A and B are shown apart, each in its own frame.
Chain A
Amino acid sequence: DTGVSQDPRHKITKRGQNVTFRCDPISEHNRLYWYRQTLGQGPEFLTYFQNEAQLEKSRLLSDRFSAERPKGSFSTLEIQRTEQGDSAMYLCASSSGTVANEQFFGPGTRLTVL
């Protein structure tokens, strides 16, 4: 499978715990994006990497959220001290950086905070 992959697919955690999600982009894509989607809404942008550099961060990305892409390949998104409001689908996308910026999405990680 050469698409975007994410792990885990589902995560249930208790409020206050830390969680970490992983995204593996399409291999030749140098751009990687994280989005969050809640029920009935379209995905909302969180952050963007070009290779290993984090170039954009949304104001939605509070201090409890951190993302890395250490070698310019896979990325991790960590949420510290989770809150019930963090419950959502976390989507990763990648693109090759063409002018029109066509992004391809992974299957997502569904986070439930109890």
Chain B
Amino acid sequence: EDKVVQSPLSLVVHEGDTVTLNCSYEVTNFRSLLWYKQEKKAPTFLFMLTSSGIEKKSGRLSSILDKKELFSILNITATQTGDSAVYLCAETNFGNEKLTFGTGTRLTIIP
């Protein structure tokens, strides 16, 4: 069965710091890896990665996928208090349509 493991489970940093969140996966017939941000509501889509080594970037957030080592990282530079949230990683495969999520990393930014 597909599995997604995120680390760390929680992280507390000061505003302005740079953070790296990790996501490793085990999946048969991998299709894509997705990152979501979840505050006190539903997950908000951040990135979708399908190819190794190609960085996706949006403002201060960036993400990259390594399909050989089966992991992805999400980087946030110059963190702000508005970045405080749970960051979820999920994968899909070609065998079905569901997203399989990790348990998330809870990021807290201290002013």
Contacts and interface: CB of A to CB of B under 8 A. Distances in A.
B50 A104 contact: no
Contacts of B90: 42
B98 A56 contact: yes
Given A99-B31, A101-B31, A105-B43, A40 B103 contact: yes
A43 B45 CA distance: 14
Contact of B96 (A40, A56, A93): A56
Nearest to A91: B42
B32 A41 contact: no
Contacts of A101: 31-32, 92, 97, 99
Interface in A31-46: 31, 33, 35, 40-45
Contact of B48 (A45, A58, A100, A105): A100
Contacts of B4: 42
Categorize the interface residue count of chain B.
20 to 34
A45 B41 contact: no
Contacts of A41: 103-104
A42 B36 CA distance: 11
Categorize the interface residue count of chain A.
20 to 34
B88 interface: yes
A51 interface: no
Interface in A11-51: 31, 33, 35, 40-45, 48, 50
A40 B32 CA distance: 24
B42 A106 contact: yes
Contact of A100 (B32, B102, B103): B32
Contact of B41 (A35, A40, A42, A107): A107
A63 interface: no
Interface string A76-114: 000000000000000101000001111111111000000
Contacts of B42: 91, 105-108
Contacts of A48: 96-98
B31 A45 contact: no
The 4 closest A-B pairs by CB, nearest first: A42-B101, A45-B98, A105-B42, A100-B32
